[in-house]
Amino acid sequence: MNVIPVILAGGSGTRLWPLSNEEKPKQFHNITGEGTLLELTINRLKPLNPDFCLIVTARMYEEMSYDELKKTGLKGSIISEPMPRNTAPAILYAATYLSKLYDDAIMLILPADHYIKKTDVFVTILKKAIEHAHNNHLVTIGITPTYPETGYGYIKAYDDPSEVKPVEMFVEKPNLETAKKYLREGNYFWNSGIFVWKISVILEYYQKLMPKLYQSFQPLRDLTVEQLTQNDELPWEIKRNVFSQIEAISIDYGIMEKADQRYVIPGEFGWADLGSWASIDDVLSPNTDMNRSPYPEKVIFHLSKNCTVFPDTKLIAVVGLHDVVVVDSGNEILVMDKNASQDLREVVNRIKNNR
Amino acid sequence: MNVIPVILAGGSGTRLWPLSNEEKPKQFHNITGEGTLLELTINRLKPLNPDFCLIVTARMYEEMSYDELKKTGLKGSIISEPMPRNTAPAILYAATYLSKLYDDAIMLILPADHYIKKTDVFVTILKKAIEHAHNNHLVTIGITPTYPETGYGYIKAYDDPSEVKPVEMFVEKPNLETAKKYLREGNYFWNSGIFVWKISVILEYYQKLMPKLYQSFQPLRDLTVEQLTQNDELPWEIKRNVFSQIEAISIDYGIMEKADQRYVIPGEFGWADLGSWASIDDVLSPNTDMNRSPYPEKVIFHLSKNCTVFPDTKLIAVVGLHDVVVVDSGNEILVMDKNASQDLREVVNRIKNNR
C-alpha cells in the first residue's frame, strides 16, 4: 500500500519571535544551520520512498512551501486552508484530497516545525508504525519523556511489553507535580503530533466521531482533485465557505481521545518541538563555554556563558553575560533572559497592540 | 580681544563601539537624542558670540564636521591633521593658523566629544576663564569630582579661596586608593581638557617648553592662511611631512605639567566625558524602571531594569534583563553587561584582528 506523508505546515506561532512571525513562521527558518525545518521534515522521509508529499498550509505560505519542497527534490502537492482551523479539519482536508487519488493508502501525519536528531531511529519507528497501520489501527508516535515537561500533552499506554502499545488515554498538558508523577509511573509519553493510519480508516473515524465536521466537508468532496489544489475564484470560495463554518479543533480532541484501536509506539530519536527559545539549546551544539549559535562566524562571545545568539546580517558581540538569548531577525531584535521565555507572548502582544 | 573656540574633533575612540568607530566616532553621533556631541559643543558657545569656530580634525572627518557646523548656523573653519598626534600638535596647529588671522586673540580649547548638561553655568565659567586669560595666564577648567574616578587625570590646585586657583600640579590617572585620597583632601579636580589662553601666550610656551615641536612646525608657519585649510597636493604634502616627523604628545604632558602661571577654575556643570557605555547613563533620563534609551519609541522594555538601549532601524525588545546595554549600530550589535564596560576594548581588538 502506498505511503503518503502529509506535512502540516500552516502554523504561524510566535513563540520564536522575532525569528518566527506571521509573515514567515518557524517551519520556513533554518534554525539549526542544517536547513529549514520544513526542508528537514521532508528530507527525513526520503528512506521511505514516498510517491509524493502532501503539504497542508495557508495560502500565504504556499510559495515558501513550494520553495522548500523544491530544495528536497521530492515530488509534492500543496493544499491551502482558507483559514486556520487546527489539526482535525487540516487532516480531514488532506484525507479528502488523497481519497481522490488512491483507493486507499497510508497517511503519515507530520508537523512541519519539529526537529529530529536521529533520523535513522525515527525512520525505523515510522516503518513499524506503517506496518501496524495495515491492521486498521490509529498509530501515533510517543516520545519517551526525559524530564517533567508541562508544555506537552501526554499519551498514557497500557502496561504492555510490546513495541506497539495500546493507548489507555490522551491527557492534556499537566502541571509540574502531575508531570513528575507521569515520569515516575512510566507508560506516559509525550504527544508528538505524529500519526499514521489508512485514509479509509481515518475517514471512517471522522464520520463516526466528528459527523458534523465530516458533513460540512461535503462541498470539498464534490470538488475535483485539481480544484482541491487550486486557489481560483470558485473552488476557493467553496473552501472559504466550508472553513468559515467549521470549528477549530485538534485531531487529539476530535478523534484520538475518543477512538478505539489506538496504539502508540514510543521512540527516542532526539525529538524537539522548538517551542521556546530556551528549548532551541537542545538542537544547537554548545562551544566550550556552553554558548550556541547556528552561525558562530557572525558572533563574538566574550566573557559570556550559556548564551544563544541568532544573528541576521550584522555581527553580534555578547560581552559579560550569562543565560541570554539574542535574536536579530526581520525588523526586530530580541534580547532576553533564557528563563523569561514564557514571558515572550506578552511582548509580542504589546507590539501587535501598538501597531 | 576676540575669542575663538578651537574644537578638537579628530578623536576616533572605540570605547563606545559599535556606535563610535573609526568611520564615525562618537563626536558625530547623537547619543543623548539632543544632537550630535560636536553640534552640542558648538551650540553651547553661542552666548559668547564668537567670530567663528575653528575645528581641528582628521581629513576623513572634514565633511562630517562641516555638516555639524552647518547645523549650528555659526561660521567656522576646519583644519585637518594628516595623522593623529595627540593634543599638543593639534593645538599648536590651531594657534599657528589663528596667528595668521589675528594679531592676538583668546583661544578656547574644547574637546568635541564631551557632554555638558548645565550650559548656563558652563558659559559663566568660560567667561571667567576668558577674563583671566587676559592676564597672560594658562587657564583650565577643572571638574569638581563627585566620586573617586580612576579614568581621569586630576589637577591639584593650591589651597586658595578665590574662584581662579593657581595650579600646584597635574597628576596622571590615579588608582582607586589614590583617587579616594584626592577626594578626601579636596583641591583636586578632574582634568576636563578645556583650556583658555591667548594665542601669543601659548605660542611662547611652545617655544620655551616644546622647542623641537615648535621648530618642526616652521613649514606650516610658512604656509598661507588659505593653504593651512586646504588639502591640495602641495600644502597637504607639507603637512604630512611635518606630522609624520613629530611625536604624539598631549598638551597636558608637553605644556601644562611644566608651565608656570597655570590656573584652574573649578566648575560643576553636569560634565560627562562619555568614556564608556556605563557612563552614558549619566546623560540619559531613566524611565520608572531605570531603563534608558535616546529613542524609547523603538524599544520595548519588559520585566527589565536598569538597561540602556541604542536602537538603529530595528525595534529592540529587552525581556527579563537587568544592567544590560544593547547597541545596534552600523554593521554590529553589542549586548553587554554594564559592569563589563572595561572589557570592550578587548572585543574591538578581537574584531580588528579577525579582519
User: Could you read off the pLDDT of A206-251 as tens digits, one per residue?
Assistant: 999 999 999 999 999 999 999 999 888 889 999 999 999 999 999 9
Residue after which a domain boundary falls, among A272, A289, A313: A272
Determine, yes or no, domain membership for B224: yes
Task: Tell me whether A300 touches chain B (CB under 8 Å).
Answer: yes
Nearest-CB residue to A331 (from B314, B324, B335): B314
Q: A147 and A60 share a domain?
A: yes
Tell me the three cell numbers of residue B59.
581629513
Is pLDDT of B99 > 80? Answer: yes
Instruction: Tell which of B277, B326, B333 to mutate to test the A interface (max A CBs under 10 Å).
Output: B333
pLDDT at A231: 86
Q: A227 and A168 share a domain?
A: yes
Tell me the three cell numbers of residue B83.
595623522
Task: Tell me whether A318 touches chain B (CB under 8 Å).
Answer: yes
User: Could you read off the pLDDT of A287-301 as tens digits, one per residue?
Assistant: 999 999 999 999 999
Number of structural domains found in chain A: 2
Residues of B in contact with A317 (CB under 8 A): 18, 332-336, 347, 351
Is pLDDT of A282 > 90? Answer: no
Is pLDDT of A14 > 80? Answer: yes
Residue B350 to residue A302, Cβ atoms within 8 A: yes
Task: Tell me whether B334 touches chain A (CB under 8 Å).
Answer: yes
Question: Per residue, what are the HEC states of chain A?
Answer: CCEEEEEECCCCCCCCCCCCCCCCCHHHCCCCCCCCHHHHHHHCCHHHCCCCEEEEEEHHHHHHHHHHHHHHCCCEEEEEECCCCCHHHHHHHHHHHHHCCCCCCEEEEEECCCEECCHHHHHHHHHHHHHHHCCCCEEEEEECCCCCCCCCCEEEECCCCCCCEEEEEEECCCCHHHHHHHHHHCCEEEEEEEEEEEHHHHHHHHHHHCHHHHHHCHHHHCCCHHHHHCCCHHHHHHHHHHHHHCCCCCHHHHHHCCCCCEEEEEECCCEECCCCHHHHHHHCCCCCCCCECCCHHHEEEECCECCEEECCCCEEEEECCECEEEEEECCEEEEEEHHHHHHHHHHHHHHHHHC
pLDDT at B185: 94
Residue B321 to residue A324, Cβ atoms within 8 A: yes
Nearest-CB residue to A319 (from B321, B328, B336): B336
Residue after which a domain boundary falls, among B272, B306, B325: B272
Tell me the three cell numbers of residue B46.
553661542
Q: A134 and A86 share a domain?
A: yes
User: Could you read off the pLDDT of B64-96 as tens digits, one per residue?
Assistant: 999 999 999 999 999 999 999 999 999 999 999
Residues of B in contact with A331 (CB under 8 A): 313-315
Q: A265 and A310 share a domain?
A: no
Q: B176 and B309 share a domain?
A: no
Relative orientation angle of helices A199-209 and A87-99, to the nearest 10 degrees: 130
CATH of the domain at B39: 3.90.550.10
Mean pLDDT, chain A, integer? 95
Q: What is the ipTM of this complex?
A: 0.85
Q: How much of chain B, in percent, has pLDDT values that exceed 70?
A: 100
Residues of B in contact with A339 (CB under 8 A): 320
Is pLDDT of B355 > 90? Answer: no
Tell me how far CA of residue A2 lies from CA of A5, A197, B282, in angstroms. Answer: 10, 11, 70
Residues of B in contact with A343 (CB under 8 A): 302-303, 319-320
Residue after which a domain boundary falls, among A272, A293, A312: A272
Closest Cα in chain B, distance from residue A322 (Å): 9
Q: A214 and A126 share a domain?
A: yes
Q: Which has more confidence, B14 or B293?
A: B293
The whole-model pTM stands at: 0.85
CA-based nearest residue in chain A for residue B334: A317
Tell me the three cell numbers of residue A230.
487550486
Q: B321 and B265 share a domain?
A: no
User: Could you read off the pLDDT of A159-214 as tens digits, one per residue?
Assistant: 999 999 999 999 989 999 999 999 999 999 999 999 999 999 999 999 999 999 99
Separation CA A35–CA B44 (nearest Å)? 56
pLDDT at A276: 87
CA-based nearest residue in chain A for residue B344: A319
Is pLDDT of A355 > 70? Answer: no
Separation CA B217–CA B93 (nearest Å)? 8
User: Could you read off the pLDDT of A305-348 as tens digits, one per residue?
Assistant: 999 999 999 999 999 999 999 999 989 999 999 999 888 989 99
pLDDT at A247: 95
Q: A103 and A213 share a domain?
A: yes
Q: B263 and B304 share a domain?
A: no
A313-346 exposure pattern, b = at least 16 Cβ within 10 A, e = fewer = ebbbbbbbbbbbbbbbbbebbbbbbbebbeebee
Determine, yes or no, domain membership for B277: no
Coil, strand or helix at B167: strand
Separation CA A43–CA A184 (nearest Å)? 36
State the residue range of the domain holding A107. 3-272
